[in-house]
Amino acid sequence: MLDIGAHTSIAGGVHNAVEEQLEYDGTCGQIFTHSPQVWQDPNVGDEEAERFREISVEHDVGPWVVHSSYLVNLCTPKDDLREKSIDSMQKELDAAAKLSIPYVNVHLGAHTGAGVEGGLDNAASALEVLDVPDGVTVLVESDAGGGTKLGSTFEELAGVLERCSLNLDVCLDTAHMFAAGYDLSTPAGVDETFAEFDEVVGLEHLECVHLNDSKHDCGTNKDEHAHVGEGKIGDEGMRAFVNHDAVEGVPFVLETPTEDGKSYAWNVERVRELYEE
């Protein structure tokens, strides 16, 4: 059973994200609880939270994912940024619980001079501080890499999971993996990537996929998403990915662009076509 949806807006109330998802014919989805480019607390009222929960159940839309702020940096050696990141993550977790959303997704961030091991230590210890509500899981997202960003390799993802006593899981982003050097453009490449992920991290930790094609070549560390099948991963790679046994039952969330007359609805339908093929 294919579970496919898109990142939708909470403008006008978080319940509107469900209505938007229905317009795309999506069955799962992702939201920001506020603008991801500023330090801001989630502002979800009791009534709109109840409406979000009710509409999601009524139309069988879910699971949902809360994507944390882009400013969060769990790997940072800077005390002030670390505290802001922990505070922001805690509030996202509490908002997710209020909305009955099972996942909060986060990028590890950049170690900015602390080194890979130091950055992973910082991330794990920051996550340890969190009071994770029952029914909510933190997902560590794979990154495109570049500079001192961490999470672009499966070893780095595994390093955080191994260091942290929380029950962490993983969200893989296809465009990010491709940019980081995991070639998903062929069936053989997809097979090899999943085999490596299973060996290093474990497929039991894969709980969500951000399904995006890439505008740039494999291994460039350039993070720019393309429509499904129309980027450098292409139809062949995307078809192999969505039909792979490793992602059976895993929800796919689109973060594709809105350009060239193609919206999320176009990409949802394209994924279904590739899956049915």
* Residue pair 64/29 in contact by the 8 Å Cβ criterion: yes
Separation of alpha carbons 13 and 52, rounded Å: 9
Domains contained in the chain, CATH given: 66-276 (3.20.20.150)
> CB neighbours of 180 closer than 8 A, spacing ≥ 6?
142, 143, 144, 145, 152, 153, 219, 221
Q: How are beta strands 213-214 and 225-226 bridged, if at all?
A: antiparallel
Omega within 30 of 0 (cis) for the link into 257? no
* Residue pair 254/268 in contact by the 8 Å Cβ criterion: yes
> CB neighbours of 264 closer than 8 A, spacing ≥ 6?
6, 7, 8, 24, 26, 254, 256, 258
Query: Nearest 5°: CA angle at 41, between 160 and 30?
Result: 60
Kindly write down the DSSP assignment for every residue of 54-115, as one continuous string.
HHHHHTT---EEEEPPTT--TT---HHHHHHHHHHHHHHHHHHHHHT--EEEEE--B-TTS-
* Residue pair 213/229 in contact by the 8 Å Cβ criterion: yes
Q: How far is CA 100 from the centre of its chain?
A: 17
Write down the number of H helices and E strands in the chain: 9, 10
Q: How far is CA 155 from the centre of its chain?
A: 18
Model's pTM, two decimal places? Answer: 0.97
CA distances for 96 relative to 55, 68, 102, 132, 216, angstroms:
16, 11, 7, 10, 33
Separation of alpha carbons 186 and 210, rounded Å: 18
The upper half-sphere exposure of residue 158, i.e. CA atoms within 13 Å in the direction of its Cβ, equals 12
For 128-178, the pLDDT digits (tens) are 999 999 999 999 999 999 999 999 999 999 999 999 999 999 999 999 999
For 232-247, the pLDDT digits (tens) are 999 999 999 999 999 9
Helical pair 154-163 and 187-200, crossing angle rounded to 10 deg: 20
Q: Given this model, what pLDDT does residue 43 score? A: 87
Per-residue pLDDT of the chain (277 residues; tens, 9 = 90+): 899 999 999 999 999 999 999 999 999 999 999 999 999 999 899 999 999 999 999 999 999 999 999 999 999 999 999 999 999 999 999 999 999 999 999 999 999 999 999 999 999 999 999 999 999 999 999 999 999 999 999 999 999 999 999 999 999 999 999 999 999 999 999 999 999 999 999 999 999 999 999 999 999 999 999 999 999 999 999 999 999 999 999 999 999 999 989 999 999 999 999 998 6
- In this structure, the number of other CB atoms found within 10 A of the CB of residue 244 comes to 15
Tokens of 6: 């898109």
Separation of alpha carbons 239 and 185, rounded Å: 9
Query: Nearest 5°: CA angle at 257, between 21 and 105?
Result: 65
